[in-house]
């Protein structure tokens, strides 16, 4: 049975699915989501999770010539008090088997299945050394137009169809 790690903690901001584990005092405005990608059916595009090269455990999301979008996160804002959240920091680990790979870590805020705010971070700006797991850190300030019905999506866009790996995707909202 492959290990599935999904944890979120929240204080002062209520997420319906986190009530079972809510036992912290209301002293902080922070929500955290993380996945080590050791799961078969979780978040989005879990079909990209392959054993082999991985930063944690045995599995990572493999991008290749047939895979344009990585394993990713999608969650609507309806249970988040947007008045208390103004920034999302995305962390992910990337592994480029070869030099000169290009891809983008994307944070998208969608409304009615259309992206209304789109932020891209070039992985190659952080991952300079091939064959070495490297952490990528991408902070995004939420726009004032962000609404409770909007959906936050986070993924890697492999537009040019390179082969590489990502693992350990984490979001912190504060």
- CA–CA separation, 98 and 148 (whole Å): 41
CB of residue 65 vs Ca ion: minimum separation in angstroms? Answer: 22
28 CA to centre of own chain: 22
Q: Give exposure, 90-120, as e/b (b: 16+ Cβ within 10 Å).
A: bbbbbbbeeeebebbbbbbbbeeeeeebebe
Query: Is 128 within 8 Å of 99 (Cβ atoms)?
Result: no
Task: Decide whether 56 or 89 has the Cβ nearer to Ca ion.
Answer: 56
User: Which CB, 77 or 93, lies closer to Ca ion?
Assistant: 93
Minimal CB distance residue for Ca ion: 56
The 59-78 site mask, x for binding Ca ion (CB under 5 A), equals x-------------------
Q: Is 36 in the site for Ca ion (CB under 5 A)?
A: yes
Parallel/antiparallel/unpaired status of strands 87-95 and 30-35: unpaired
Q: Which stretch binds Ca ion (CB under 5 A): 22-30, 49-57, 72-80, 152-160?
A: 49-57
Interface with Ca ion: number of residues (CB under 5 A): 7
| Of residues 128-167, those binding Ca ion (CB under 5 A) | 167
Q: Return d(Cα 23, Cα 120) in angstroms, integer.
A: 35
Residue 46, C-beta contacts closer than 8 angstroms, at least 6 positions apart: 39, 40, 71
- The reply on whether position 32 binds Ca ion by CB under 5 A is no
By CB under 5 A, name the one of 54, 106, 107, 156 that touches Ca ion.
Answer: 54
Q: With binding defined as CB under 5 A, does residue 120 bind Ca ion?
A: no
Query: Which of the stretches 25-33, 47-55, 103-111, 148-156 binds Ca ion when contact is defined by CB under 5 A?
Result: 47-55
| Cβ-proximal residues to 130 (8 Å cutoff; 6+ apart), any chain | 96, 97, 98, 99, 101
For Ca ion, the binding residues (CB under 5 A) are 36-37, 54, 56-57, 59, 167
């Amino acid at each position: 049975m492959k290990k599935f790690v999904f944890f979120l903690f929240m204080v002062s901001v209520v997420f319906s699915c986190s009530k079972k584990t809510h036992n912290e005092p209301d002293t902080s405005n922070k929500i955290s989501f993380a996945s080590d990608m050791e799961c078969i059916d979780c978040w989005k595009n879990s079909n990209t999770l392959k054993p082999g090269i991985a930063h944690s455990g045995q599995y990572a999301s493999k991008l290749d010539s047939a895979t344009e979008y990585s394993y990713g996160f999608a969650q609507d804002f309806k249970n988040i008090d947007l008045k208390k959240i103004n920034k999302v920091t995305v962390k992910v680990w990337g592994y480029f088997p070869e030099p000169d790979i290009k891809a983008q870590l994307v944070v998208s805020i969608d409304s009615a299945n259309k992206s209304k705010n789109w932020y891209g971070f070039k992985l190659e700006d952080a991952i300079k050394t091939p064959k070495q797991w490297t952490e990528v850190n991408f902070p995004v300030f939420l726009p004032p137009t962000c609404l409770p019905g909007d959906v936050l999506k986070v993924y890697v866009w492999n537009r040019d169809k390179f082969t590489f790996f990502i693992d350990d995707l984490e979001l912190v909202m504060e």
